[in-house]
């Protein structure tokens, strides 16, 4: 989340709506409700408590060296028609796609939609 926050204005200008999904229980180890109250974000945030969303997108992470019953860090770009146009699935909990790469993908999608 933190990597996208400084780019919020640019994202809005190019027509992007960000939504964050966390495969976490409300009362989970990271205390997401308390974290969001302490550090609010400017986008919608979904707690995927039953892991339905992360399983549907193929990013559920049952067990790994650095994860148990959560999601791989992922960035998914869905166009206005609901078609998944880009997925970056991190290999570990520290693996994130650079924001600039996501912005480039979105610009390419929007550019091809205008033609």
List, run by run, the mean pLDDT of 10-residue segments along the chain (115 residues): 83 85 86 87 88 93 81 89 91 91 90 67
Q: Name the architecture of domain 5-113.
A: 3-Layer(aba) Sandwich (3.40)
Q: What is the pLDDT of residue 88?
A: 94
Domain boundaries, the chain: 5-113
Q: What is the C-alpha separation between 55 and 62, in angstroms, rounded?
A: 10
Q: What is the pLDDT of residue 55?
A: 94
Contact at 8 Å (CB) between 47 and 32?
A: yes
Q: What is the C-alpha separation between 87 and 77, in angstroms, rounded?
A: 6
Burial class of residue 65, CB neighbours in 10 A (0-12, 13-18, 19+): exposed
Q: What is the pLDDT of residue 113?
A: 64
**pTM, two decimal places:** 0.80
């Amino acid at each position: 989340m933190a990597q996208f926050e400084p780019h919020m204005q640019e994202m809005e200008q190019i027509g992007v709506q960000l939504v964050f999904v966390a495969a976490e229980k409300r009362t989970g180890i990271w205390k997401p409700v308390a974290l969001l109250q302490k550090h609010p974000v400017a986008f919608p945030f979904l707690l995927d408590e039953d892991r339905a969303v992360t399983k549907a997108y193929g990013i559920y992470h049952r067990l790994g060296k650095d994860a148990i019953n959560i999601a791989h860090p992922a960035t998914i770009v869905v166009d206005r028609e609901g078609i998944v146009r880009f997925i970056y699935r991190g290999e570990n909990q520290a693996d994130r796609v650079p924001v600039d790469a996501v912005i480039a993908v979105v610009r390419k999608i929007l550019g091809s939609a205008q033609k």
